[in-house]
Every structure is written in C-alpha cells, then in structure tokens.
Structure 1
Amino acid sequence: MPLSRPLTAATGTALLGIALVACTDQALGTITARNAAAAYRQVISNPAVGGCHRFAQGATHVDNFTQNDIILYQGDSCAEPANGQSTYLATQSSDNVVAGAAPWRSFTIVGR
C-alpha cells in the first residue's frame, strides 16, 4: 500500500526537525551583558556551545535568554583567578555581581 503524499511530507519534515535539533551546536537565544554604569552593553546571539566566550568589558549584570545554562567567570579565560568564584546562571534568568566583587569577564555554555 503506497503512502499518501501528505503523510510522506509530514514524516520527512518531522525527521528533518529532529535531526536539526540533535545537531545544534549553538545555544539558541541571546546573552546580554552590561555594567553598573550602563555605559557598556553587549548582546551575544546564538553563542557556540563549547569554548570560552569573552565579554568586551567587565559585566556586572548578565541576562541569559538562551536554551542553555551558562557559567560566568571573573577571569577572562574562563578560569577563576585566585580568590575568584564562578557563577552558574540557569536558562531564562539574570544575575548581578555581588557588591564589591570583580565583574564577570567570560563565560562558557553548559552543553546538553
């Protein structure tokens, strides 16, 4: 029994959608960073999963509107300097640097 043309098209579309989602190597969405003086604002769209991402300047506030969690670092190479501490930021959330702490300078994407 031959398959109907609409059923074949729907099946192909579903399989293609599954393949594209499984192969994505980007955190879909945006990460917005800014400093307390609001003189600096950086929007990063669809950053790659894997590797270290650097902010152009130190950020004191970060919004994570991607589909992945991120880890924020005070060091510029995704490593913490002595006495530094990383911050885990879940998807669809925001955070501010604790008063008196150094700004965030880099981040990594948590892969799924």
Structure 2
Amino acid sequence: MSFRRRLTTATGAVLLTLAVAGCSGLGRTAVGTIEYETEREVGVMVTSPSVKGCHHLAPSGATKVENNTMVDIVLYPTRDCRGKDSTYLPADTGDEIVPDTPPWRSYSVIH
C-alpha cells in the first residue's frame, strides 16, 4: 500500500471518529409537539422539546395540555418539576386541570 493511500485512509478514519464524537453530543428531543393553553386562554406550541431537564410552561401556567409527542411527560404545578401533585400524561393524549386547582407550571419528559 502506498504512503499516499495510507495517509488518505488514516485521515478518513480521523474524520469519521470526529464526526461520530460530534453527533453523540447532540441533544435528543421528544419528536412532535406539546400544545397547551394558559389560564388566559392563550395557545402555546412547543416543538420537539429536549428529553433532558425541567421545562417551564408560561408564567401564568397551563390549564390544558396536549402531548403530541412519541414520549410520555409529567406535568407539575411548580416551576421546578417537583411536588406530589404531578400528572402523568402519556404520548398522544391530553388533559386539563380540575376546576379550582393550580395550573401546571412545568413538565419533564420520560425517556
């Protein structure tokens, strides 16, 4: 094998390794949309949210949520995705709060 061919092969291997390493750092998302309505009846749509972390809803909170993603989510009445009064919302379903209960203010993705 010639020196030039070995150099080309080695360069290709390095570039492939860098490409794979770069792609592994990409954040995974919940494919689809999460749509919700605020207490002020304003509609909001979030497209493909990250599967990591806690996601805040509008400051006034959400009274109705449609989970049109391929993963389940958990809704919380707090801004920090904590608390005992959470609501599990499976993929491709929706829910709304019971009258006289606090709105949802955050959600997390189950993956």
Name the structure 2 match of 1:43: 45
| CA separation of 1:56 and 1:36: change in aligned 2, threshold 3 A | closer
RMSD: 1.8
Name the TM-score, length of structure 1 as normaliser: 0.71
Which segments of 5 or more consecutive residues in structure 2 lack a partner in the other structure?
1-22
Is 1:71 the counterpart of 2:71 in the alignment?
no
Counterpart check, 1:29 vs 2:25: no
CA distance 1:56–1:37, change in 2 (3 Å): closer
Structure 1 runs, 4 residues or longer, greater than 2 Å off: none
| Residue 106 of structure 2 is aligned to residue 103 of structure 1 | no
Unaligned runs of 5+ in 1: 1-19
**Could you tell me the percent identity over the aligned residues?**
36
Letter in 1 for 2:110: V
CA contact (8 A) 1:75 1:104 kept: yes
Give TM-score scaled by structure 2 length.
Answer: 0.71
- What's the secondary structure of 1:104's corresponding residue? coil
Tell me how far apart the structure 2 counterparts of residues 85 and 100 of structure 1 sit (CA, whole Å).
14
- C-alpha deviation, 1:24, in angstroms: 7.0
- Kept in 1, the 8 Å contact 2:39–2:103? The answer is no
2:38–2:58 Cα contact (<8 Å) kept: no
2:108 alignment partner AA: T
Q: How many residues align?
A: 86
| Greater C-alpha radius of gyration | 2
